[in-house]
Amino acid sequence: MSGAGTLSGRVKARRAGALQGVVHAPGDKSISHRALILGAMAEGISHVDSLLEGDDVLRTAAAMRALGVEIERENGRWRIAGAAWRQPEKSLYFGNSGTGARLVMGAVAGKQIAATFDGDASLRARPMGRVLEPLRMMGLEASDMDGRLPVEFIGGERLTAVDCKLAKPSAQVKSAILLAALGAQGTTRLHEPVLSRDHTERMLSAFGVKLKVEADDAVGRFIEIAGGQKLKACNISVPGDPSSAAFLTAAALITPGSDIVIENVLVNPLRAGFYETLKEMGANILFENKREAGGEPIADIRARHSVLSGVEVPADRAPSMVDEYPILAIVAAYAHGETKMTGLEELRIKESDRISAIEKGLAACGVDVRSGEDWLAVRGAASVRGGAKVSTHSDHRIAMSFLVCGLNSEEPVEIDDASMIATSFPGFVDVMRSLGGDLEIP
């Protein structure tokens, strides 16, 4: 695997000056995983441009190869020769990636293949029952470690369509069911009371799959998908990841004199909760040159230093910004007044317990922060003392958040381990430096 080894150990961020320039965010992680998986399931050759070449996505590529699919990188493009999948010889290892593990589980279940799924210590601690439960309802036979990895699929059982309601808004669970449904007998009907990111639905349509989506503001969305449909190869261009662009945007907002543009970022409304919240805080951000590419809305994001005020972030916004709370907490520390974030129960079971990691890190930087089981409140004082060594708990988003925090704190902020940044944003340090950020690798 490339990436994780490129940046390891401590990194220190210190105040330098205004951030200026035009940059790109890396390819969207959610779309990158889906492009590899759907391309591998399709008949024919698919090409993918601007794939995120972070560790999480490279693990999914490795899993597809282990399932018998040819995937090559050719002149910066990825070429996927879809094929009938075969049983892997070794266990499928997903490293740190919940998305990879959960989506591939759904796809493998629909193909009646025996396989073992595994991951690193963090992924082994995360719940898999949320995916296994609906797949078992469809007929999957699998053994697991009390709802955790490693999970072993027995293989051979043809799945049957289900009619089910998602207990929690989770695009990973929804996607696993949709991918399994493609290999099931009958038509699966899925009710999603609270909407989650819809990249799987959009991309399945691009691959020629027919799904019926009925939306109703009051009760959410119903998705119907008939089993046995074939996917036809197609070409995908992956837009920039709004969850990665969030760190660049935040850095510009909190650093006086800054004015940056991040080109070609996905602005799907189901991923835009962070930007909506920033606007409510008074942020000077614009979505410029809005356009469509590959069935997704994209834009260039312009972000300038702003005087920000604390806000209440409603619980129902969580699905559209679930990965952005760590960096929002940093922005909140630089705002005037309190920002209260609620509905955060899922943050406890991400790559780390993010509520706890943010609270400890901010407190160490001298910020007034409180938390409860599913909420976090940050009282901003428009400036941050810093001067702390922050533990990232091997979580890429905690690592990047506290490096951004150090870009304008009175004293530098150091993180204990930057290696996991490669899971989602391999060029983070270089991009920040190109904008003028002072990040030192001691």
Q: Which residue, 172 or 391, is less far from ligand S3P as judged by CB?
A: 172
Of 314-373, which residues contact ligand S3P (CB under 6 A)? Answer: 322-323, 346
- Pick from 145, 123, 142, 124: nearest CA to 132: 142
CA–CA dist 423, 408 (Å, integer): 25
**Residue 268 lies near ligand S3P (rule: CB under 6 A):** no
All residues at 6 or more sequence positions from 390 whose CB lies less than 8 Å from its CB, including other chains: 360, 361, 364, 365, 398, 402, 413, 414, 415, 416
**Residue 122 lies near ligand S3P (rule: CB under 6 A):** no
Structure tokens at 336: 């005037």
Q: Point out the catalytic residue in the list 300, 323, 395, 417.
A: 323
Q: What is the CA radius of gyration of the chain?
A: 21
- We find the least distance from the C-beta atom of residue 175 to ligand S3P, in angstroms, to be 6
Report yes or no: 316 and 343 within 8 Å, Cβ to Cβ: yes
Of 189-218, which residues contact ligand S3P (CB under 6 A)? Answer: 197
How many residues in the shown chain lie near ligand S3P by CB under 6 A?
10
Question: What is the DSSP secondary-structure string of 53-86?
Answer: -SHHHHHHHHHHHHTT-EEEEETTEEEEEE----
**Residue 414 lies near ligand S3P (rule: CB under 6 A):** no
**Residue 264 lies near ligand S3P (rule: CB under 6 A):** no
- We find the least distance from the C-beta atom of residue 306 to ligand S3P, in angstroms, to be 26
Q: Dihedral of CA 380/382/388/391: which sign?
A: positive
Stretch that binds ligand S3P, among 164-172, 248-256, 268-276, 298-306 (CB under 6 A): 164-172
Residue 323 is a catalytic residue = yes
Among 50, 60, 96, 172, binds ligand S3P (CB under 6 A): 172
Stretch that binds ligand S3P, among 47-55, 57-65, 139-147, 169-177 (CB under 6 A): 169-177
**Residue 170 lies near ligand S3P (rule: CB under 6 A):** yes
**Residue 99 lies near ligand S3P (rule: CB under 6 A):** yes
Q: Which residue, 106 or 310, is less far from ligand S3P as judged by CB?
A: 106
Q: Which residue, 24 or 29, is less far from ligand S3P as judged by CB?
A: 29
- We find the least distance from the C-beta atom of residue 397 to ligand S3P, in angstroms, to be 9
Q: Which residue, 231 or 266, is less far from ligand S3P as judged by CB?
A: 266
- What is the number of the residue whose Cβ is closest to ligand S3P? 30
- We find the least distance from the C-beta atom of residue 281 to ligand S3P, in angstroms, to be 22
Q: How far is CA 53 from the centre of its chain?
A: 14
CA–CA dist 5, 376 (Å, integer): 33
- We find the least distance from the C-beta atom of residue 392 to ligand S3P, in angstroms, to be 17
Of 40-59, which residues contact ligand S3P (CB under 6 A)? Answer: none
Helices (H), 85-147: 98-110, 121-124, 129-137
Strand partners, 216: 220
- We find the least distance from the C-beta atom of residue 14 to ligand S3P, in angstroms, to be 29
CA–CA dist 63, 48 (Å, integer): 17
Q: Which residue, 237 or 320, is less far from ligand S3P as judged by CB?
A: 320
**Residue 97 lies near ligand S3P (rule: CB under 6 A):** no
**Residue 135 lies near ligand S3P (rule: CB under 6 A):** no
Among 26, 30, 258, 283, binds ligand S3P (CB under 6 A): 30
Q: Which residue, 273 or 427, is less far from ligand S3P as judged by CB?
A: 273
CA–CA dist 99, 179 (Å, integer): 13
Report the SS3 class of residue 437.
coil
Q: Which residue, 323 or 414, is less far from ligand S3P as judged by CB?
A: 323
Report yes or no: 394 and 417 within 8 Å, Cβ to Cβ: yes
Structure tokens at 428: 């983070």
CA–CA dist 35, 52 (Å, integer): 10
**Residue 171 lies near ligand S3P (rule: CB under 6 A):** yes
- We find the least distance from the C-beta atom of residue 323 to ligand S3P, in angstroms, to be 5
Q: Which residue, 275 or 334, is less far from ligand S3P as judged by CB?
A: 275
CA–CA dist 249, 275 (Å, integer): 9
- Pick from 73, 125, 100: nearest CA to 424: 100
Q: Vertex 40, ends 65 and 230: CA angle to 5°?
A: 150
Of 389-408, which residues contact ligand S3P (CB under 6 A)? Answer: none
Distances (CA, A) of 191 to 173, 284, 432: 12, 37, 41
- We find the least distance from the C-beta atom of residue 156 to ligand S3P, in angstroms, to be 28
Where does this chain bind ligand S3P (CB under 6 A)? 30, 99, 170-172, 175, 197, 322-323, 346
Active centre residues (catalytic): 323
